[in-house]
Amino acid sequence: MKQRIKNSSLKESSRRWLQRHMNDPYVQRSKAEGYRSRAAYKLIEIDDKYHLLKPGMRVIDLGAAPGGWCQVAAARTRSSEDSPGVVGIDYLETDAVPGAVLLQMDFLDDAAPAKLAEALGGAPDVVLSDMAAPTTGHRRTDHLRTMHLCEVAADFAISVLRPGGHFLTKTFQGGTEAELLTRLKQNFRSVHHVKPPASRDESVELYLLARDFKGRLKAEGDGEG
């Protein structure tokens, strides 16, 4: 049964958003299955298809709040509280996730990469990023700000991944990413866009999936594009 919003003080656009959110099957499923957000299903669907997360892997999650992706990563890598193999970072406070270490700091902070490396204790097999810049309401500005986060996340992944590792990041439709795609293709053996079913059809959100990292020395010297 569909729920309706009765608060008369809400703007019509806000009312429509709330109503859609409350009646979203992924939202209802996340509450029933104990995930922090519907976004968890985006990672689940991508991983079901591409098999990125395997037991024993080390994973870094950029923009981890509210923790849904860390929950999925910890479960699928079988990360334990005694020896966590998943590290998440976000400037927002995030409730504890069993099997994950959560750092509350801005990923753009100069000290963040070293903190992540220290917490993980080794090179990651997978770098995940669901980061998006806070919206300003100006679509072009929001797109550029999120693309900047995507580029910084890619630079980080290339600097820390072990050979054969994978990188998954949120991006938006709308161009300005040719340079980023070229860089990823130089450093990974497979690069393509993914839109999981849990990503709403009307959303401009896409994910960039770069698989099988070539390794830093080889990537710098092979000249492939």
Catalytic residue among 2, 54, 170, 185: 170
Distance (Å) of CA 123 to CA 86, 108, 114, 190, 215: 11, 19, 12, 20, 12
11 included as an active-site residue: no
CB 193 within 8 A of CB 208: yes
Task: For the chain, give the longest Cα–Cα distance.
Answer: 63
Q: Which residues, 6+ apart, have CB-to-CB distance to 213 below 8 Å?
A: 157, 158, 161, 162, 163, 164, 165, 166, 167, 187, 188, 219
Q: Tell me, what amino acid is at 101?
A: V
Nearest to 203 by CA among 128, 106, 130, 108: 130
Catalytic residue numbers, as ranges: 170
